[in-house]
Amino acid sequence: MATDIRNQDTKLWPQLVDHLARERPNTAYGLWPVASDSYDEGFHTITYGQLSNIVNGLAWWIVKQLGPGNDAQQEVLTYIGPNDVRLTAMILASVKAGFVLFLTSPRNSPAAQRSLFEALKCRTLITSDSRLPSVLPIIDVVAPRCLTIPSVDELLKESFPPFAYDKAFEAGRWDPLFVLHTSGSTGMPKPLVWTQESVARHYTCAIQEVERQQDATSVEHLMAGKRVVVTVPSFHGAGILQYMVWAICAGCIPIAPAAVGIVTAHGLADALKHTPAEIAILVPSVIADLAQNPDQLAYCASHLSLILYIGGDLPQAIGDIVAAQIPLRCWWGASEVGIPHQLIPRGLGPNDWRYIQFHPSVGAAFDPVSDGVYELVVRQDKALPQTSFSIRGQEHLAEYRTKDLFHPHPTVANAWCWRARADDIIVFLNGEKTNPVSMEQHIVARNPELSGALVIGTQRFQAALLIDPVALNERGPLNTSEQAALIERVWPSVQEANAVAPAHARVEKSLILVVDRPLIRAGKGTIQRASSIQQYTSQIETLYTNADLVLDDENSPDEASSNLTNIENVTRFVRESVCAVTDWPHSDEAYTTGTFFEHGMDSLMALRLIRLLRRGLHRPDLGLSTIYSNPTVTQLSTALLAEKDEHKDGDALLMKPLLSTYRALIEQIPKPDNVHAAGKPRGVPVTAVLTGSTGTVGTFLLRALLDRPGIDRVYCLNRSEDGGYAAQKLRMTERGLNVADLDERVTFLPAALDQPFLGVGEKAYKELCDHVGIIIHNAWPVNFNLRLSAFQPQLAGLVNLFRLSTTTSTGHPASLIFISSVSAVGTGGSASDKRPIPEQVPTLSDAPDTNGYARSKFLSEMLCDSAAQQLGIPVTIARVGQVAGAVRLPGGEWNQKEWFPSLVIGSLSMGCLPDNLGTQFNEIDWLPADLLADVLVDLVQDQLNPQSGTSDSASVYNLRNPHTTTWEKLLPSIIEKARTLLGPDRMPIVVPPSTWLEKLDAASKETGDEAVTNPAIKLVEFYRDYLWGTGEQEKTPPMSVEKAYAHSTALRELQAIKSQWVQKWVSEWLS
């Protein structure tokens, strides 16, 4: 039953609550979740009788702690606590006891908190727990007196005597009721003292329902008497007004979110499952989450009649998705004026949800700023008493300029849409705000090599930084290595600026962009923010997208930790990730028993944590809601492991649909006119396209192509902005390879193979069509924990390369060589009956049952065969086994993170080597990377042979070393090299695998250098479950190599892995 306090406008706010407690003690005031971190236990309903009792109890408690307050002094108390009934009660109890309550944002920087405390002369901090991370910085910089407030349960259990508050309305209407503060977006936040009259103005609007008109409906009319989910923070002005004005005056029943954590679409739907509601007040980030979760959106649509959003801008496209299912409306407010009385014009269309109309009593005016843009100004009007300003210090203002810019609706009169801030304030997607100017000025001042800096982030979750180097105007854009070096030099000043910025406004290193065109400036030299940002729209989008792939924190868990198959190791990885983003000590057990958010994790920390998990677990599909729904180490670890298991089965079901999809795309490619020329002699020399040239195999393959007669020029397609040029030159130099002809004979193109024209642009694509004779496709992410769905861009890129092959104008369709992997056919099908794996295209019955990487290679082989049959282009599949380090030159070190280098390095660290490598790996048929490149170029030349184009299906060559050796034969050379490099005292012994694993387990529990220097620790599951966990029955049979042997001179000449080669690798690892 709604409250009704019409004709009670002679009562002050504490008196209103006492009045309702007497008249309707059992009427619901609001609902709060029983548990602090979930809705599973339902909600507490607090009645007005209980609210009044809690207010009295807290008033007596304040007087007991501090003595009675003094109206003349109006001493300020600060409160920080969870979002529960104590917040409203503390405001009213402080007034009764003679004090004023200040509600500060726990997200403020320590410097901001100190500034606010000093401005208010506040010496007392009241909190639910003085150990809260949001409280500790205040204690450090302010050193206030700290009081711990009684719990809600304690306040509900006891019946308190009334605390008299008999002040007359006229005597108290201008008294302070509570204190808020500005956002601090234009400098340090400033306190705003709201009086009893300030809130009474909202009270008047709330209870004086606008007459039903033909052209508008009031927001208050829509909300009156409704159950409303309120997700705005309790220290926010909109939140306080909801719990006081619209609850107490208009009979709304506020429903609070869980006190701990950050509100999400999942959390909103979960709340609605436990209590009914009609309206939700949300910040834009929750609406964005709803738009991305159709199931949650559908559930909310069936339970809500209206969503109001407040606190930030909401992109039109995102809002449209939600508005299509739930009526959506903007609600404007500002700390300096509250939430003025607003109307919804009836003539608005379904996508006009951003438009609002201010009631005439507000005194809203719109002053023109530029074409079609107006600033909202609130003016006093003697004919409208409500327009007089009531916040302390504003009483005598003639007008308040909001600096909020609006544009009018093209056809509906008096309807306005918020557009931007006049003072360049960045409004993030979660409603947080920041003024970037001070950060920009600091960074430019500390770095003379910069001519400008621009912080951005509107409609994003966090800030990014554009930097404009002086050298750009002097000699043009910086190359990739120069950009990286510049970012490193600028980074210390960014860290300095971050230290005094609020958490949501800090810039990470992965979100810094060095511009390649000068920032746009006005005639007086100032940067034109909007125009500059518009100029870099695509680069900014890429910057934010790629941020998920970059880890800034050097203490972040290594991505090799992603070989996680049991709960213990997943838990360890999650704990390390949480510590990395929060700086919580590894030894601190407190956060493992509470939730992340109880201990101070904010939205930016949660965003960094999900990035660590996405990369470390190779799970780009993980969403922020996974953390919000599982906010403890144990819950999150369990959820991640469960999701991983579910995805395995899902990949198997995805195989046939993906195969059908991409086969259909191949069928849409026109068959080339020159298909019959495939078997005819080609002109020499030939131009090649090589994708993925900067990796280990790609680097040696590029050099081998350039060294082989018949290859004139190579186009390298890589994802980096310079096409891989800088990285290529560096890696070839490190490996001792000749780079003298790189500039003359190689063209590097930045590419995105799944995009039109391969992402190189139409002009460069035509150049490829005019020259290319053979395509070697080597680019593929080697991530064994990625789901199959994550490889769809690679499958699309392969189809686009087929298209390139058919559109060449060289007189022949370009031949294509696809670098595949033994994992594509390593399990299942023919491999399961122990016959040697044949050199032929697999069938669906041969599908591997291991991981998304293997399945993606398997599908690619089948697509290669489809392209050969459908389009008539020459296609070769080079199915590669284990690749080892290079052997001919001093460079070419075998990557230490791979399983064998990690095993040897870890063994030497522990002082023991295993006596075997299990049934699967004991027989060694590895291919050194540099010698593999020669084999592949043999196949390139074979493909260019006139007879190679006559087959109507793809040719398959299995590539492994035809001459094998064993682990036992190589062990003595490793021991001897260790004795030479480490000394006789550290010469390793040989032990059974069980003993070796025991020692590795013991090393994993160490906290000193051993845990850091032993890379095998991160792969312990692989060694236990795969290396030595594979029995004779599960062993993958060897690949047949007869065809490859016949077609490759380099393969025929290849020797078994030599002791000297192994000793070379060991020397490189230990150096």
Q: Give the DSSP per-residue string, 923-939.
A: EE--EEHHHHHHHHHHH
691: which strand partners? 717, 777
Q: Could you give the CA distance from residue 421 to residue 887 in angstroms, rounded to a whole number?
A: 62
Q: What is the 3-state secondary structure (H, E, C) of 24-61?
A: CCCCEEEEEECCCCCCCCCEEEEEHHHHHHHHHHHHHH
Residue at token pair 């009241």: 126
Give first-to-last CA distance, the chain, whole Å.
78
Number of CB atoms found within 10 A of residue 691's CB: 24
> What amino acid is encoded at 376 in this protein?
L
CA dist list (Å): 331 to 208, 313, 314, 343, 388: 18, 11, 12, 10, 21
Q: What are the percentages of helix, strand and coil residues in the chain, rounded to 5?
A: 45, 20, 40
Q: How far is CA 949 from the centre of its chain?
A: 47
Q: Could you give the CA distance from residue 182 to residue 26 in angstroms, rounded to a whole number?
A: 37
Number of CB atoms found within 10 A of residue 96's CB: 24
Q: Could you give the CA distance from residue 563 to residue 1013 in angstroms, rounded to a whole number?
A: 18
* CA neighbor of 889 nearest in space, from 937, 929, 836, 832: 929
Locate 431 and state its tokens.
Answer: 């409603």
CA triple 958-962-965, angle to 5 deg: 130
Q: Which pLDDT score, from 0 to 100, does residue 110 have?
A: 82
Domains of the chain, residue spans: 436-547, 559-649, 650-888+926-959, 903-924+964-1036+1058-1070
> What amino acid is encoded at 268 in this protein?
L
CATH number of 436-547: 3.30.300.30
Q: Which pLDDT score, from 0 to 100, does residue 967 have?
A: 95
Q: Which pLDDT score, from 0 to 100, does residue 908 have?
A: 93
> What amino acid is encoded at 131 in this protein?
R
Q: Which pLDDT score, from 0 to 100, does residue 910 have?
A: 92
Q: Which pLDDT score, from 0 to 100, does residue 553 have?
A: 47
Burial pattern 887-914, b for ≥16 Cβ within 10 A else e, equals beeebbbbeeebbbbbbbbbbbbbebbb
> What amino acid is encoded at 231 in this protein?
T
Q: Which pLDDT score, from 0 to 100, does residue 575 have?
A: 87
Diameter of the chain measured on Cα atoms: 105
Q: Which pLDDT score, from 0 to 100, does residue 314 have?
A: 80
CB 873 within 8 A of CB 672: yes
Q: Could you give the CA distance from residue 304 to residue 271 in angstroms, rounded to a whole number?
A: 12
> What amino acid is encoded at 537 in this protein?
T
Instruction: Taking the CA atoms of 1029, 1033, 1036 and 1038 in sequence, report the sign of the dihedral they define.
Output: positive
Q: Which pLDDT score, from 0 to 100, does residue 510 have?
A: 82
Superfamily for domain range 650-888+926-959: NAD(P)-binding Rossmann-like Domain (3.40.50.720)
CB 283 within 8 A of CB 319: no
Burial pattern 236-264, b for ≥16 Cβ within 10 A else e, equals bbbbbbbbbbbbbbbbbbbbbbbbbbbbb
Q: Which pLDDT score, from 0 to 100, does residue 610 have?
A: 82
Q: How far is CA 706 from the centre of its chain?
A: 41
* CA neighbor of 935 nearest in space, from 1039, 776, 826, 1053: 1053
Q: Could you give the CA distance from residue 85 to residue 472 in angstroms, rounded to a whole number?
A: 57
> Helix (H, G, I), strand (E, B), or coil: what is residue 996?
helix
Locate 32 and state its tokens.
Answer: 């709060």
585 exposed, middle or buried (CB, 10 Å; 0-12, 13-18, 19+)?
exposed
DSSP conformation letters of 658-700: HHHHHHHHHHTSPPPTTGGGTTSPPPSSEEEEEESTTSHHHHH
* CA neighbor of 239 nearest in space, from 353, 338, 340: 338
pLDDT lower than 50: segments of the chain = 1-2, 6-8, 206, 209-212, 387, 523-524, 552-555, 559-562, 828-831, 949
CA dist list (Å): 851 to 631, 784, 788, 824, 825: 28, 6, 7, 10, 12
- CATH architecture, domain 559-649: Orthogonal Bundle (1.10)
CB 75 within 8 A of CB 49: no
